[in-house]
Amino acid sequence: MNLEFNISVHVLSFLTKHNDEHFSSQELAELTCLNPVQLRRVTTILTNHGFITTLRGQRGGYRANDTTPTIKLSTLYQMFVVEKTKSQRIFTGSEHSHCAISRNIAHTMSHYKERELALTLDFYSQLTINDVIQDIIKEDTTHVTL
């Protein structure tokens, strides 16, 4: 999980909940308590994938579309976490080391990472933006009654 993944889920949930409205990037940043630059970086990707609609012009902004509520979290995880970590160094050791642990740690950990990713994607494939909204509503109801 990372910040961009969370921003994407937050923004898509917000826009789905308010699907009859559209919001400028500044309004959306304020309403979702996000940094406008980070928000625009994520909304650009969401727009390019057709997950939200962008209205151009002075009265333009972002809005949910017909696909927004049914987007699987696994799709977002793949876009914002998996694709981003491909370029990051995450393993230690060296194949050329005289130490067996240093020589093999990266290979062993990469197997664990593959299994972790499969479990994570399986978990998120069962959840959509609508599910997130329903869980938030349940959470809000729980806090109100306490």
Domain boundaries, the chain: 1-70, 72-127
* pLDDT value of residue 89: 79
In this model, does residue 146 exceed pLDDT 50? no
In this model, does residue 144 exceed pLDDT 80? no
Rounded Cα–Cα distance for residues 94 and 115 (Å): 22
pLDDT per position as a tens digit, 70-123: 999 999 999 999 988 777 778 899 999 999 999 999 999 999 999 999 999 999
Q: 144 versus 110: which is more confidently predicted?
A: 110
In this model, does residue 44 exceed pLDDT 70? yes
CB 10 within 8 A of CB 76: no
Task: Write the CB contacts of 57 (distance below 8 Å, at least 6 apart in sequence).
Answer: none
136 sits in the region (left: phi over 0; alpha: psi -120 to 50; else beta) called alpha
* pLDDT value of residue 143: 63
Picking from 77, 8, 2, the residue whose alpha carbon sits closest to that of residue 41 is 8
CATH T-level fold of 1-70: Arc Repressor Mutant, subunit A (1.10.10)
Q: Residue 2 in 3-state DSSP?
A: coil
Picking from 16, 114, 19, the residue whose alpha carbon sits closest to that of residue 73 is 16
